[in-house]
Structures are given as structure tokens and as C-alpha cells.
Amino acid sequence: MKHILITGSTDGIGKLLALRLAKEGHFVGVHGRTEAKLNATVTEIKAESKNDNVVGFLADYSNLSDVRMMAKEVIEKMPKIDVLVNNAGIFKAKIDTATNGVDVRLVVNYLAPYQFTNAVLPLLKKADAPRIVNLSSAAQSPVSLNALQGGISLGANDAYAQSKLALTMWSFYLAKQEPSISVVAVNPGSLLDTKMAKEAYGQHWSPAEKGVDILYDLAMTDSAETGKYFDNDKGNYAQAHPDAYDNAKIEELVALSSNIVLR
């Protein structure tokens, strides 16, 4: 039995992955933004999987103090984390700005997982072969450090693409910093049949299961290669945006990120 935590797992590929792992008998941490939906999801997964080792964690990822509180709760309720899947993400939002004045996509898709992962690193280090799977995207564009501090506002597409490149850059950094932990970034597939794709584009290209399968493989099998980017549109490891290999840009990004989340 492995201890697995999947953020953003009350919908889409996160929920499907949580159910699949619960059915295999693993201890699964589920994360959601609203209490009613989180409780309903935990109840549903427990019933379908006949596995009582399913625990819900509540946090609005657009609020970094919420993320901090959730990390403390995870440390109390999980003895270790074998696999962390940073799946929580947002594209279309009712409010474009998070509580700290930064674009909500930059916060939910990058700063929140950055903060959360760093807070629970001690739990990952308790596992024999820990790994982190970070949900990137085919959409990646150069990160504005000004936007990351709330200095300028961005359009939804640009903010999303910047957040996903930031997550990828940090994945590569973390893989070097923590050699005992496998860290892989993955584009699970463009326009999968999920709520996010429907809201953003009103269409999909591939079934959600395509994304679930690659997340499962990277989380649970030997296919995870640390410090790399898997592009599921191509079905193999591929090159991410050039900035993901620029050490100076990565150092700048990480230094700023740690300042922001420590505020």
C-alpha cells in the first residue's frame, strides 16, 4: 500500500486517478476547494473502491494561507507521502485575481503547488522511493516575474501558459535539489474530456482516460524519469520550453517564488 496525495481530485483526471488508486487498495488523499463536493467525492470513492483509507483535504488554492493550513493538516493525517500528484489547476475563472493580487492562474497552477510541496517535503522524504508528478501543459510561455508579483495583469491564455512553464522550470530545479525524490513534469494531453477543457474551449480531442493512464504510469511504474518533461500528445519524453533549461531564469524564478510564499 502506498500513500498518495492528488490535488484537485474532486473532478476530471484527478478524481479518476484517485478512484483507480483507491480500488488498488492504496491510501489516497483527495483535495478539493469546496467542502460539500470534497465530502461527496470522498464518500463516493470509498463506496466504489470499498477502501476506507481515503481522506479529504480542503483548501482554496487561490489563497496561499489556505494552502499553508492544508499542508499542516496533511502532515498530521498522513504518515508519509510516496507519491504527490500536483494536479490542481485552473484556466477559466470567475475572478481573475487571487487573494494576494496576482493572476489566479499563476497562483493556483504554480505558486500554490510550489508552496504546498515545499511544506510537505519531510513527508515525501519518509518514503522509500518518493516521487512528485507535476501537471504541466503543451501551453508554455516565458514567465513574467512582474506578473508573478501582481505588477501587471495578463490574459487568461498567457497566464495559464506562464503558470505551466513556471511549474516545469521549478520541477527541473526540484529534481536537482532533491536527488532522493523523482520529480517529473507532464503534459497529460491537450484538450482532454474534462470540465476544464469544456469551460475553456467547449470541446475536447481525447478521452480523459488518456490523461489518467499517463498519470498512473508516471506515479506508479518505472516510467518516471526525474528532471524530465513527458509530452502525452507525443507519447514520449520531449523538450519543454527553452526557458526550462535556463539556469539563470530558473534561479530567479525560485528565489522570487520563495519570497512570495513566505510573505
At the topology level, CATH places domain 3-262 in: Rossmann fold (3.40.50)
Q: Mind listing the pLDDT tens digit for each residue in 33-88?
A: 999 999 999 999 999 999 999 999 999 999 999 999 999 999 999 999 999 999 99
Q: Which three cell numbers stand for residue 172?
A: 527541473
CA separation for the pair 222, 167 (Å, rounded): 22
Residue ranges of domains in the chain: 3-262
Share of the chain above pLDDT 70, in %: 92
What is the reported pLDDT for 211?
A: 80
Given a cut of 80, is residue 177 above it in pLDDT?
A: yes
CA separation for the pair 250, 81 (Å, rounded): 26
What is the reported pLDDT for 206?
A: 53
CA neighbor of 214 nearest in space, from 228, 198, 232: 232
The torsion angle over the Cα atoms of residues 168, 174, 176 and 180, rounded to 10 degrees, is -130
First-to-last alpha carbon distance for the chain, in angstroms, is 37
| Residue 151 identity | G
